[in-house]
Amino acid sequence: MQVSPPPAVADLVLVRPLRSRPSEQNFMTKKPMLKIILIAIPTIIVVFIIIVAMQPSSYRVMRSLAIAAPPDALFPHMNDLKKWEAWNPWGKADPNMKLTYGGPASGIGANYSWAGNNEVGEGRATITESRPSESVKYKMEFFKPMSATSEMDFTFKPQGNQTEVTVTVTGEKNLMAKAFCLFISMDKMIGGKFERALAELKTIAESPAK
């Protein structure tokens, strides 16, 4: 009986299991993550827009200060726009701000336009209502850095030998303004300026006449 010799080592063929290439594995791992990101981004944007749209469409900012002066002494500082330069904090923010006056010298129809740096922007203020020693109302138009309108009024309420001066600003918020106010409220953004304005007015009105 003839026995066949064992196969030579060189004739043996070792079959190894196929392995995925590292690049293919990375791609397969990243693909679900990429899909999640592509779905999440539009979802986040839509949710953000919904949150913004649900914000109040109007705002109201009010500040008051008691000043030791009668209403008739304070009224001219509001009714004559050229007197704004003495107490207006926005004007102090840009000493080079350009002012242009129009209409009558004071009262209804008097207006002034301003153009300054990025902090003060560009706009126009017009007196729309004037009640001697009682109140002055303005239409505020802003052109830069963003377009907007608002109403501002100063009221004078006698309190003994003092007068309570109140400034109130109201306006509507568009979608961009609503988004902006998610991070900082209108009250925080402009309230401090009006506090300084009233403080300046108090200093002027209570200073001894020269």
Q: Tell me the pLDDT band of 139, cut-offs 50, 70 and 90.
A: very high
71-79 and 186-206 helices, crossing angle to 10°: 120
* Residue pLDDT, tens place only, 123-135: 999 999 999 999 9
Instruction: For domain 59-206, give the CATH number.
Output: 3.30.530.20
pLDDT exceeds cutoff 60 at 175:
yes
pTM of the full structure: 0.71
* Residue pLDDT, tens place only, 41-57: 877 777 767 776 677 77
With the C-alpha atoms ordered 81, 83, 87, 88, is the resulting torsion angle positive or negative?
positive
For residue 164 the two structure tokens come to: 């309570």
CA dist 90 and 87 (Å) reads 9
Q: Tell me the pLDDT band of 95, cut-offs 50, 70 and 90.
A: confident
Question: C-alpha dihedral over 25, 26, 32, 33, to 10 degrees?
Answer: 160
From the list 73, 70, 76, the residue with the least C-alpha distance to 161 is: 70
Predicted confidence at residue 10, as pLDDT, reads 47
